[in-house]
A = this chain, B = another copy of it.
Amino acid sequence: MRRPEPVLKKGRLEAFSDGVLAIVITIMVLELKVPHEAEWHALLPVLPVLLSYLLSFIYVGIYWNNHHHLLAAARRVNGAIMWANLHLLFWLSLVPFVTGWMGENAFAPAPTAAYGAILFMAAIAYVILERAILAIEPADSPLRRELAATFKDRISPVLYSSAIAVAFFRPWLSCLLYVAVAALWIVPDRRSERAVRARPSEEEP
């Protein structure tokens, strides 16, 4: 406790992020417009919206999971981390908008490309957040070793960019790529988990 420690409480940053992500994941369901008819076929136009909702639900779930791991591994937070975190939340808050646009237009080219663009920006924002957290970790922090860019980090932006380009010709192929990246990430990021374990455990289990 000799050197000055940032006084920002990690817990409140986590709570705020949890709040925003919980709202983002839930208000998407408001795009599912309740049909006025009581017949099953009235659900048909809702189907693509439901599918894009499912995809986005999984993506926000992945971000929440990895965010959870990353912050559990972070020892401290400062102003830069706060703004990097808000920047990430900004792009994720646009997910319901592009989800609705893509769903209501049944995976047409422009909305499908826009969906990929938001995912791409969120991925970049996540990397910036990782860097901001590393910047105040000590030089020998195990998190530093663990977060060294790996295959998964390198391939995701490439796949998103490809999906955006492909959307103009074969939007269904873009959707397949989005599903592929989701599948790649659905396993929670075990790197930060290992990083926490490597330092003397002061966290509750």
Chain A positions near chain B (C-beta within 8 angstroms): 1, 4-16, 18-27, 29-32, 34-40, 42-43, 54, 57, 61, 64-65, 68-69, 72-73, 75-76, 79, 82-83, 86, 89-90, 93-94, 96-97, 100-101, 104-105, 108-111, 114, 186-188, 190, 193, 196-197, 201, 203-205
Q: What is the oligomeric copy number? A: 4
* A205-B5 in contact (CB<8A): yes
* A90-B16 in contact (CB<8A): no
* Cβ 8 A contact of A205, one of B6, B30, B57, B204: B6
* B9-A197 in contact (CB<8A): no
Most chain B CB neighbours (cut-off 10 Å) among A31, A101, A104, A108: A101
* Cβ 8 A contact of A100, one of B34, B75, B186: B34
From known contacts A27-B30, A201-B1, infer whether A187 and B79 are also in contact, taking CB-CB under 8 Å. yes
> In the bound complex, how far is the Cα of B93 from the Cα of A29, in angstroms?
7
